[in-house]
Each structure stands twice: as structure tokens, then as C-alpha cells.
């Protein structure tokens, strides 16, 4: 089968063996689409070559070439003997990891830090294998294209959860990439009343306005602080989310937050770098700062949101043969949520 594997400096599409028939607790899926994740774009950035332990493969790892991709949808083609409630022909979207359910973290409401994760095989491929716990049936009114956005939607849901978005609140989103846009949509659904999205790329600002942003600002050529104070009547925002992954922006979030605000860093940052946080700001405003690490317990609610959110404007599709160029286009700010079709 065709698959895109990670090579130094990029990705290469090669022929690899098709996964075998599933074991007792496995589901084999024919991949329809797999989205390119921002975390994968960092694989081309030397600043991100060192990764936190949570992102590294479990002991023993996977055999053979490492196939990328984890934001996938498809059709079930085979199920193991122990699998219940999932059948051949089901249209599904998938998580890329299954917590063990037995370790300290799984038993203490922190399954995203599971010590014995069961990984799926990579989904930049014609077929992939999953634990049944990672497979979710799509509603009849959700396309496979939209279904491929399930996993990134869960990240937005988790971000909105820990940000504590509430009806009538004011919110600033820094960065108009896929996660920023999804946070915008989920926050609107959760009741945020005024949302400013800061993004230097004009096409992304226009899309944010279409998706419901109250105001968009070009932080390169416009005064973001002035626009923020005007929108919030000089108070600063109740909630500030960084979805840009830029260190200077992560720090700026603190400056634009209002009293008792929550700041959420919802992006990946290079390992080992630091952002100076003025204690006087923390004390004087009584701020809370949180980080986002994937999306525990968010998949069922995100499935319910797929027909409700306006996701199709985010999507473009490229054949797997163009995956390396698709990565480079995204790094140049071209496109939004690119789906790879094996």
C-alpha cells in the first residue's frame, strides 16, 4: 500500500506492507482522509527535534518505516473477534491513541498522561489499525471529509473546557490557524460574546470573520493592544488563548488579559525555551495560566459538534503524492486544514 513516511528533511511516499488482518482487539480501517496537524509541521523545524516524553514512541516502538498522520477518517474493513458495536462498513473517525485504563493517570482522571498508551498505526496510508476504543462512528449527516477533523475539534473542545469559556465572556485568540479557527467556533457555541482573533494572514482573517469573530486584527500592521482595549472597554479579556505557538505571542497574552482572566497556551513550543512571566502581572491581575496537552474525554462531545460547526470552509484536499509540498505550503501560510487522500 502507499504510505507517507518520515524522512530527514521531509516526507516520502513509498510502498509498505498492508496491515494484516486485525487481532482480537483491533479494527482495520481503510483511510479516506488524514489531516495535516500543526504538530507534524514542526518535524521540519530543527527547533522541535527534541520532544517531550509524552510525544515519544513507547518502548519497543513500531517496526519498519514510521508512517505519519493521526487526524483520520475512513471505513471499517475488518474487526477482531473481541470487537463489539463496530462493524465492517461503518464510517468512522479515529483517535490516534488509546489509554490503557489501568495506570495511575488513567485511574486518576488524567488519561492523556497514560503510561502505557496503545498507539494506532500512522494514517498517511491506505489502511491503518486501531484499538476499538479509538474508533468513533460518524453521524449520517457528517461527511468523511468533515469527520477527519474530529481529533483537532477535540483539542479545541479541551481548550475551551480548561479556559472556562462561559456565556457573555470576552475572548482573544492569538493565531488563525486550524486550532485557532476551531477554538473560535467552539467558543462561540459555548457562549463567548466578543471574540477578537489576531492573525497576520489576510485570508485567514477573512475566514475568521465568516466563522463569527467579532473583530480581526493584523498584529503586524495594526495596534492589537489598542483594538483589544477598545473592544473590552479598557478592561482586557476574560480569556486569552495562544494558538500561534510563538513565544513572544505567548507572553503578550498575559499583557492583554484582564483581571481574574485565564490565559491558555494551546500550541506546541520548542523544548527548553522559556517565557518570562512577570509575577507582578500574575499578582496584580490574579491571573491563571494553563497549557493544553491533547484532549482527554472530549471525543463523544466532539462527535456531537461535527454537524453543528461550520467546518467545510477550513478544508482543502491534496493527494498523498503531494504531501511533502502540502507541508511546505502550510509552513508558508498557504491553506488551512489540508486533508491528505491516500
Which CATH number belongs to the domain containing residue 36 in this structure?
A: 3.90.180.10
Grid cell, residue 229, equals 482595549
What's the rounded Cα separation, in Å, for the pair 314 and 316? 7
The pLDDT score that the predictor gives to residue 62 is: 43
Contact 120, 57 (CB under 8 A): no
**Same-domain check for residues 145 and 160:** no
Residue 90 inside a domain? The answer is: yes
What's the rounded Cα separation, in Å, for the pair 249 and 198? 10
**Same-domain check for residues 327 and 215:** no
β-bridge mates for residue 241, sequence order:
173, 264
H or E stretch including 218? none
User: What count of residues does the chain have?
Assistant: 342
Domain containing 258 equals 156-291
Residue 299 inside a domain? The answer is: no
What's the rounded Cα separation, in Å, for the pair 72 and 192? 29
Residue 297 inside a domain? The answer is: no
Grid cell, residue 337, equals 486544514
List the chain pLDDT tens, one digit each, 342 residues: 999 998 766 788 999 999 999 999 999 999 999 999 988 886 666 554 444 444 454 444 444 568 989 999 999 999 999 999 999 999 999 999 999 999 999 999 999 999 999 999 999 999 999 999 999 999 999 999 999 999 999 999 999 999 999 999 999 999 999 999 999 999 999 999 999 999 999 999 999 999 999 999 999 999 999 999 999 999 999 999 999 999 999 999 999 999 999 999 999 988 888 888 889 989 999 999 999 999 999 999 999 999 999 999 999 999 999 998 999 898 888 889 999 999
**Same-domain check for residues 137 and 13:** yes
Contact 185, 212 (CB under 8 A): yes
The pLDDT score that the predictor gives to residue 59 is: 42
Closest CA to 314 of 336, 286, 290: 336
Grid cell, residue 193, equals 460574546
Contact 281, 255 (CB under 8 A): yes
Grid cell, residue 148, equals 477527519
Contact 162, 292 (CB under 8 A): yes
Residue 239 inside a domain? The answer is: yes
**Same-domain check for residues 179 and 256:** yes
Q: CA 203: distance to chain centroid? A: 20
Residue 298 inside a domain? The answer is: no
**Same-domain check for residues 175 and 249:** yes
The pLDDT score that the predictor gives to residue 63 is: 47
Beta strands in the chain (DSSP E): 2-7, 10-15, 27-35, 71-79, 91-94, 97-98, 118-119, 127-130, 135-137, 170-174, 194-198, 215-217, 237-242, 257-265, 288-291, 315-319, 337-341
| Helix (H), strand (E) counts: the chain | 10, 17
The pLDDT score that the predictor gives to residue 332 is: 84
- For the chain, the domain total comes to 2
Amino acid at each position: 500500500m502507499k504510505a507517507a513516511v518520515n524522512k530527514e528533511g521531509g516526507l516520502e511516499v513509498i510502498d509498505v506492507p498492508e496491515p494484516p488482518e486485525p487481532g482480537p482487539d483491533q479494527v482495520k480501517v481503510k483511510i479516506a482522509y488524514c489531516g495535516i496537524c500543526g504538530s507534524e509541521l514542526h518535524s521540519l523545524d530543527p527547533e522541535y527535534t527534541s520532544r517531550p516524553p509524552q510525544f515519544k514512541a513507547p518502548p519497543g516502538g513500531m517496526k519498519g518505516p514510521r508512517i505519519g498522520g493521526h487526524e483520520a477518517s475512513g471505513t471499517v474493513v475488518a474487526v477482531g473477534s473481541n470487537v463489539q458495536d463496530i462493524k465492517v462498513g461503518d464510517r468512522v473517525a479515529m483517535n490516534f491513541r488509546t489509554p490503557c485504563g489501568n495506570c495511575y493517570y488513567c485511574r486518576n482522571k488524567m488519561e492523556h498522561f497514560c503510561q502505557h498508551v496503545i498507539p494506532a498505526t500512522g494514517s498517511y496510508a491506505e489502511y491503518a489499525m486501531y484499538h476499538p476504543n479509538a474508533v468513533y462512528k460518524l453521524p449520517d449527516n457528517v461527511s468523511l471529509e468533515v469527520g477527519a477533523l474530529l481529533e483537532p475539534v477535540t483539542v479545541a473542545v479541551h481548550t475551551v473546557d480548561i479556559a472556562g469559556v462561559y456565556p457573555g465572556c470576552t475572548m482573544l485568540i492569538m493565531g488563525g490557524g486550524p486550532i485557532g479557527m476551531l477554538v473560535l467556533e467552539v467558543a462561540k457555541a459555548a457562549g463567548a460574546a466578543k471574540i477578537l482573533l489576531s492573525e497576520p494572514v489576510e485570508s485567514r482573517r477573512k475566514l475568521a470573520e465568516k466563522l463569527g469573530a467579532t473583530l480581526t486584527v493584523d498584529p503586524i500592521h495594526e495596534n492589537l493592544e489598542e483594538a483589544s482595549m477598545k473592544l473590552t472597554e479598557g478592561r482586557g479579556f476574560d480569556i486569552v488563548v495562544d494558538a500561534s505557538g510563538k513565544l513572544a505571542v505567548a507572553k503578550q497574552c498575559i499583557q492583554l488579559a484582564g483581571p481574574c482572566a485565564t490565559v491558555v497556551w494551546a500550541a506546541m513550543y520548542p523544548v527548553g525555551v522559556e517565557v518570562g512571566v512577570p509575577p507582578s502581572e500574575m499578582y496584580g491581575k490574579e491571573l491563571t495560566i494553563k497549557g493544553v496537552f491533547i484532549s482527554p474525554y472530549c471525543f463523544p462531545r466532539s462527535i456531537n459538534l461535527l454537524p453543528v460547526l461550520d467546518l467545510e470552509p477550513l478544508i482543502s484536499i491534496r493527494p498523498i503524492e503531494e504531501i511533502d509540498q502540502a507541508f511546505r505550503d502550510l509552513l508558508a501560510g498557504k491553506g488551512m486544514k489540508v486533508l491528505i487522500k491516500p
